[in-house]
Amino acid sequence: MDGTISLIATTNSPKSLMDGLNSRTASTFNPSEISFDDYNAYELTEILDHRRDAFRDGTLEEGVIELVAAVSAQGEGDARFAIDLLRESGNIVNRLEEDAISEQHVEQARSEVEKNYVQDIIQKVSHQKQVSLLSTALVAIHGGRVLDQEPMLRSNRVPSNVGYTLYRWIQDQTSSEMRSKHSYLRWMRELSTYEVIENNRRGRGNEQGMFSEYTFPHLDPESVVRIITKGDKVLSEVIQEGDIIKSIVESNLNEFAS
């Protein structure tokens, strides 16, 4: 039977998709990339206007729709985020037994929606990305004393070198496939595009090159660890080795800062 087959792949990270293919598959695939821009505030306002019918007359103060659209456009540019933000604003009003959604309610809802958004992403990414994120969060938790005291380091900012070292230890403890540092850095960059973490580049000085450092803007490291290990018996057992993890983290932070 003659014919052609067309394949459409949708992804937030085209590079990660292509990097996951072997050379022969990538060569055969040879895709034409079509990029879609994030929604802007005007487009999000139009989308949210269709949701007005879900609210009784007088329960949306003037400017609320526009604020939700503006907040969403400045962040993810994501229609789902905008709709969730409007819905959570309404939930807050219901819980407080107030009459109408104000701009203040939107600001209160923003933090909750961002946390839920990040949690949803963490639960859906691959196991390797979860372990990379877990190791980074554990460095932030167990390395706090050194991060605060070492002049070379910054409080609550995890150096990529140390995060990867702990990633290797976790994979060794769980007899899991160990990927390269390049893969770890790529996964962390991808997580930063989802705003799960913030990724900043710094120089070490004395021509020692650049490194990445990671922070957690929406969920604290402890919450990240709970999300990843919930229901995962193997990883839950690994994080019980608190003294060992602390020793590995502190010794590697000190070595990195020296």
Q: pLDDT, tens digit, for every residue of 175-216? A: 999 999 999 999 999 999 888 999 998 876 665 678 899 999
pLDDT band at 13 (very low <50, low <70, confident <90, very high): low
* 211 contacts 185 by C-beta, under 8 angstroms: no
Q: Are residues 94 and 75 in the same domain?
A: yes
In a domain, 214, yes or no: yes
Q: What is the mean pLDDT of residues 130-140?
A: 97
Q: Are residues 138 and 233 in the same domain?
A: yes
In a domain, 233, yes or no: yes
The radius of gyration of the chain from alpha carbons, rounded to an integer in Å, stands at 22
In a domain, 24, yes or no: no
From 59, 93, 122, give the residue that closes a domain.
Answer: 122
pLDDT in tens, 208-243: 678 899 999 989 999 999 999 998 999 999 999 999
In a domain, 164, yes or no: yes
Phi-psi label, residue 112: left if phi above 0, alpha if psi -120 to 50, beta otherwise: alpha
Q: Are residues 155 and 224 in the same domain?
A: yes
From 94, 122, 150, give the residue that closes a domain.
Answer: 122
Q: So what's the pLDDT on residue 208?
A: 65
Q: Are residues 249 and 164 in the same domain?
A: yes
Q: So what's the pLDDT on residue 147?
A: 84
Q: Are residues 110 and 150 in the same domain?
A: no
In a domain, 1, yes or no: no
Does the global pTM surpass 0.85? no
Q: So what's the pLDDT on residue 155?
A: 81
pLDDT in tens, 20-34: 677 677 777 777 777
Q: Are residues 80 and 107 in the same domain?
A: yes
**Type of residue found at 27:** S
Q: Are residues 146 and 246 in the same domain?
A: yes
In a domain, 8, yes or no: no
Q: Which domain holds residue 98?
A: 41-122
In a domain, 12, yes or no: no
In a domain, 190, yes or no: yes
d(CA 45, CA 83): 10
CA-based angle 219:184:200, to the nearest 5? 55
User: DSSP per residue over 167-188, as a string?
Assistant: HHHHHHHTTPPPPPHHHHHHHH
Looking up residue 237, the CATH number of its domain turns out to be 1.10.10.10
From 103, 122, 141, give the residue that closes a domain.
Answer: 122
Give the CB-side neighbour count of residue 27, counting CA atoms within 13 A. Answer: 3
Q: Are residues 239 and 197 in the same domain?
A: yes
Q: Among 39-48, 149-158, 246-255, where is mean pLDDT lowest?
A: 149-158
Q: Does the structure show a pLDDT above 60 at 1?
A: no
Looking up residue 99, the CATH number of its domain turns out to be 1.10.8.60
Q: Are residues 56 and 116 in the same domain?
A: yes
Q: Are residues 81 and 150 in the same domain?
A: no
pLDDT in tens, 59-108: 899 999 999 999 999 876 788 899 999 999 999 999 999 999 999 999 99
Q: So what's the pLDDT on residue 215?
A: 94
Q: Are residues 50 and 99 in the same domain?
A: yes
Dig out the tokens for 203 from the structure.
């120089």
Q: What is the mean pLDDT of residues 153-160?
A: 86
Position of tokens 């400017």?
Answer: 63
> What percent of the chain is modeled with pLDDT above 70?
93
User: DSSP per residue over the chain, as a string?
Assistant: -----------S-HHHHHHTS-HHHHHHH-PPP---PPP-HHHHHHHHHTTGGGS-TT-B-TTHHHHHHHHHHHTT--HHHHHHHHHHHHHHHHHHT-SSB-HHHHHHHHHHHHHHHHHHHHHHS-HHHHHHHHHHHHHHHHTHHHHHH-TTS-TT-EEHHHHHHHHHHHHHHTTPPPPPHHHHHHHHHHHHHTTSSEEEEEE-STT--EEEEEE-SSS-HHHHHHHHHTT-HHHHHHTT-HHHHHHHHHHHHHHHH-
Number of separate domains in the chain: 2
Q: Are residues 116 and 131 in the same domain?
A: no
- The sign of the torsion formed by the CA atoms of 5, 8, 14, 19 equals negative
